Amino acid sequence: MDAKHSPTTAAGEDFDYAFVDTVGHIAIYDDMRSEPRVIDIQPAETGSYIESLATTVYEQARGAGGSIPYTVIREVSENFIHAQFKEALVTILDHGCTIRFADHGPGIPSKEKAQMPGFSSAVEPMRTYIRGVGSGLPRVREYLELSNGTITIEDNLGTGAVVTISLVRGGTAPSEYGADGFSAEDFENGNLEGSGGEESDFDPAAWALPYPANGGPGPYAPDPYLPVGAAFNPPTTAAPAQAGYATPYSSAAAPYGAYPAQPAPYVPAPPYGSYPATAQPVPYPAYAAAPQPVPYGHAPAAPTAASLTDREKMTLALLRDHGPARQVDLCKATCISASSMNGLVKKLENEGLIVDRNKVKHLTDFGMQIARTL
């Protein structure tokens, strides 16, 4: 190898920035339980090398299901020039939603400044192929933050840097990745860190839910939404009848799947223009039929326990009994997929039952009020 192509110094005096004479590698993990697919980027003129690397990474990540834009991938790929392309390795994870760029160059000592505009270690020969004005990583960071994505810069093993970018497909839209970067496949594979790389102190035993042995709860069978050892006390009296409506079912309900022996009697409505004998408001029965439609022009009624689905009740009960929790832990405790949990949490947030604080779900005062009735 002649001196022209020999990267012998950290400052790069003997490095020819016009040509990349090392092989780059792209590792695509389709499944963490199997070996990755590896694509090599062969030595080429610097501009062509960067273009080939960025294009291949983009195509592979997009094909795996990711949504990170080409411009973001290109900006980070150009950063390899600062390492003189030493041991350039790009790893595609989480169905294309996470991409990791690693090298064995001099590293990035000031990681925060590297993500701020105007800070650059580029020398003049590099500017033929990159802008070199300290705008690359700041633009990447800005885009990802606006899209609910992340960028991290770490030291590589021995020497060099590792830049990791992540973007849940569809940004903030519900997907198979939750707000914590946790996917259904992470759960199936026992990955307690999730795709977002955050450790979890989740203890499955502490959140165990007792389910009836008969495959489904009866009217007042052991309630799957209560903590271990807790007992459910059904109401002892039925709600008073309302004129014009059937009497609600009493607490002595028939076994699951069976019909009551006698249908509820019909209470005739009073004559038109008259009023019931008692003008006192009648409490809404806890387990009566669905509420009547809201008249046109009136605001919709606030959610009640009766209007919640079983999964929503389970989630509220867990937050009631165990306190605030991350979405990834709710997925694991309920065995609800990340995509379903993502939509469920958004619905509960929109109804004012829970609130997100730094990716931790908390019951609101109204949510706690509803949860206590479950």
The pLDDT, as a whole number, for residue 27 is 97
Q: Is residue 91 helix, strand or coil?
A: strand
- Between 110 and 193, whose confidence is greater? 110
Q: Is residue 283 helix, strand or coil?
A: coil
How many Å apart are CA 251 and CA 80, to the nearest integer? 70
Residue 268 half-sphere exposure toward CB, CA atoms < 13 A: 4
Q: Is the pLDDT of residue 14 over 70?
A: yes
Residues 130 and 124: beta-carbon distance below 8 Å: no
The pLDDT, as a whole number, for residue 336 is 80
Mean pLDDT lowest among 11-15, 79-83, 89-93? 11-15
Q: Give tens-digit pLDDT for 232-252.
A: 454 444 445 444 444 444 445
**Which band of pLDDT confidence, cut at 50, 70 and 90, is reported for residue 190?**
very low
Highest mean pLDDT of the ranges 141-145, 194-198, 292-296: 141-145
**Residue from 3, 338, 369 nearest 195 by CA:** 338
Q: Is the pLDDT of residue 117 over 70?
A: yes
Percentage of the residues of the chain whose pLDDT score is greater than 90: 40
Q: Is the pLDDT of residue 174 over 80?
A: no
Q: Is the pLDDT of residue 362 over 50?
A: yes
- For the chain, the straight-line distance linking the first and the last C-alpha, in angstroms and rounded, comes to 75
One CATH from 3.40.50.2300, 3.30.565.60, 2.20.25.90, 1.10.8.350 for 3-169: 3.30.565.60
Q: Is the pLDDT of residue 101 over 70?
A: yes
**Which band of pLDDT confidence, cut at 50, 70 and 90, is reported for residue 198?**
very low
Q: Is the pLDDT of residue 79 over 60?
A: yes
Domain ranges across the chain: 3-169, 174-230+301-374
How many Å apart are CA 64 and CA 26, to the nearest integer? 14
Strand positions, DSSP E, 103-250? 150-155, 161-166
Q: Is the pLDDT of residue 163 over 70?
A: yes
The pairing of strands 98-102 and 161-166 is antiparallel
- What are the tokens at 76? 């980070």
The pLDDT, as a whole number, for residue 193 is 44
Mean pLDDT, all residues of the chain: 74
DSSP characters over 295-322: PTTSPPPPP-GGGS-HHHHHHHHHHHHH
How many Å apart are CA 362 and CA 353, to the nearest integer? 9
The pairing of strands 325-326 and 89-93 is unpaired
How many Å apart are CA 103 and CA 85, to the nearest integer? 7
Highest mean pLDDT of the ranges 6-20, 125-139, 149-163, 335-349: 149-163
Q: Is the pLDDT of residue 231 over 50?
A: no
Question: Identity (one letter) of the amino acid at 106?
Answer: P
**Which band of pLDDT confidence, cut at 50, 70 and 90, is reported for residue 130?**
confident
DSSP characters over 115-137: GSTT-----GGGGGTS--SS-HH
- What are the tokens at 229? 């050892």
- Between 221 and 142, whose confidence is greater? 142
Q: How many helices (H) and strands (E) does the chain have?
A: 8, 11
The pLDDT, as a whole number, for residue 258 is 56
Q: Give tens-digit pLDDT for 59-73.
A: 999 999 999 999 999
One CATH from 3.30.70.60, 1.10.10.10, 1.10.150.670, 3.40.50.300 for 174-230+301-374: 1.10.10.10
Average pLDDT on 345-373 reads 91
Q: Is residue 338 helix, strand or coil?
A: helix
Q: Is the pLDDT of residue 10 over 70?
A: no
**3-169 and 174-230+301-374 share one CATH topology?**
no
